[in-house]
Amino acid sequence: MTLAELIAQARTALDTAITARQQEQDALMAMRSDEHLTEDAVAARVATRDAADAEVTRRQETLAGLEAEQVRENELAALQARTVPASNRAPAYDRVHRVGQDARTYRPDEDRRGAQFQRDVAAAFLGDYEARDRLARHMTEERVERGDQLQRAVGTGAFSGLVIPQYLTDMYAPLARANRPFADACRRHTLPAQGMTVEISRVTTGTSADNQAAENDAVSETNIDDTALSVPVRTAAGQQTASRQSIERGAGVEDVILDDLFRAYGSRLDNTMLNLASVGLTNVATSVAYTDATPTTAELYPKVIEGLSGVEAALLDQASGDNLAVMHSRRWYWMQNAMGTSYPLITQPGVVAQTLGANYAEAYGRGVRGILPNGTPVIVDNNIATNLGAGTNEDEIYLVDRQECHLWEDPDAPVYIRAEQAKAANLGVLMVVYGYYAFTFQRQPHARKIAGTGLITPTFTGA
């Protein structure tokens, strides 16, 4: 019996021992659920399980010893091939070791394209021991039959069919997207289970109170009135049809497609909240003009304070003080590049004196990126347009009360549909991602935006 056959026999015995041990463990767990269980019965079953466990260990050690012996045999065969005298370029027929009755591991007459060899290379890379054994046996056969040829000085170019490229599928580069930083910072609500609109009552005419002119005179009275605010429920969705071949014979193709669809969904939702006609933040916010041919951070900052002042003036006693400044990443980094000697005269909580704010060093899309000199948190969102204004090169800064930026979403959104029957005749698989959502900034109109030529494409000059 050959060493390879002994190894195969040892593996079979180990598999049998593992199966027996698992059966003993299952029997032990079933016994423990018996209400009338005795300690002696448990001890006996544990002893049986431990004996099976010991048998697994013994079989494992036997297999390890045989595999180590096989490795040593391969090393000796390689050493023998290397020590063949260089002068024996063409040894006589009867002086060459040849494979006799045993067939070659990889036979050209059965697999002309070498597909089995390539599959074994990939499987060995992933830890398949049997594939490694077949490759080792193949190399031993090659050294026996062509040892003198294998010693020649050749490069990988001589083995274009054997030097196989490795595809690092776990390191694939996804398409970079803006995703949903602002949406994630908004006040979240669960979208109602039914209906395609969300209706909110807004008191637009309030009651009144005044000083009584004289005793027994009528006091002030104004009839309260409300106006319904209708917020439409929107649907964001995307689809991709992939061939069954790409999914079933590819590596992680479906996961890559789904990841991109989910991030495309998030980017579309966020972009809609910021830029949609009529109801997007850019279209409902009151503009604070910043016009400057040579803009600087020091000149921009007072506009931020003006905008925040407008937010509070609009909300009055409904202001939560939980304000946000939302800007493009190019604007945030431009503000960080500013250098100067002028500092606010009034210090703010959480901001070190004589600084222009603080950067929290958070990655894009991970929440608050930093704070401005007055303590206002900053959200960086690259769904903000950068082609605004007459020169189509301006962006905007939005100033809002977070508690009045409302977003309703289904807790399970986005939903994934995988439909095989729809494209069955084409061997295709249809993947659809969709979700329902609604948003509004108009429950209490308040938002402000800084816009104008002072927000053209920034130049990083330290000013």
pLDDT one-digit tens code per residue, 294-335? 999 989 999 999 999 999 999 999 999 999 999 999 999 999
pLDDT digits (tens, 9 = 90+) for 232-255: 999 999 999 999 999 999 989 999
Residues in a beta bridge with 398: 326, 449
Q: What is the pLDDT of residue 351?
A: 75
pLDDT confidence of 87, banded at 50, 70, 90? Answer: very low
Question: What would the mean pLDDT of 262-277 be, rounded to a whole number?
Answer: 97
Domains by residue range for the chain, with CATH: 3-86+107-159 (no CATH), 181-210+221-455 (3.30.2400.10)
Lowest mean pLDDT among 112-116, 357-361, 368-372: 112-116
Tell whether the model's pLDDT for residue 160 goes beyond 80.
no
Tell whether the model's pLDDT for residue 91 goes beyond 70.
no
Tell whether the model's pLDDT for residue 93 goes beyond 60.
no
Give the residue, 96 or 363, on which the prediction is more confident: 363
DSSP 89-116: SS--GGGS----SSPPSS-TTT-TT-HH
Q: What is the pLDDT of residue 106?
A: 80
* Range 6-12, long-range pairs (CB < 8 A, 24+ positions): 6/66, 7/63, 7/66, 7/67, 7/70, 7/133, 10/59, 10/62, 10/63, 10/66, 11/63
Tell whether the model's pLDDT for residue 345 goes beyond 70.
no
Question: What would the mean pLDDT of 342-348 be, rounded to a whole number?
Answer: 65
Tell whether the model's pLDDT for residue 89 goes beyond 70.
no
Question: What would the mean pLDDT of 55-77 be, rounded to a whole number?
Answer: 87
Lowest mean pLDDT among 55-64, 81-90, 121-130, 387-396: 81-90
Q: What is the pLDDT of residue 403?
A: 97
CB 335 within 8 Å of CB 300: yes
Give the residue, 375 or 98, on which the prediction is more confident: 375
pLDDT digits (tens, 9 = 90+) for 436-452: 999 999 999 999 999 99
Query: What angle (nearest 5°) sits at the alpha carbon of residue 112, between those of residues 111 and 116?
Result: 40
Question: What would the mean pLDDT of 331-349 be, rounded to a whole number?
Answer: 78
SS3 for 219? coil
- Across the chain, what does the average pLDDT equal? 88
Tokens representing 99 are 């494979």
Task: Give CA–CA dist 305/315, Å, rounded.
Answer: 16
Q: What is the pLDDT of residue 101?
A: 55
Tokens representing 181 are 């930083």
Q: Which helix (H) or strand (E) holds 243?
A: strand 234-243
Task: Give CA–CA dist 271/439, Å, rounded.
Answer: 12
* Range 299-302, long-range pairs (CB < 8 A, 24+ positions): 299/454, 300/335, 300/450, 300/454, 300/455, 301/356, 301/372, 301/373
Lowest mean pLDDT among 155-159, 162-166, 401-405: 155-159
pLDDT digits (tens, 9 = 90+) for 219-235: 999 999 999 999 999 99
Q: What is the pLDDT of residue 157?
A: 79
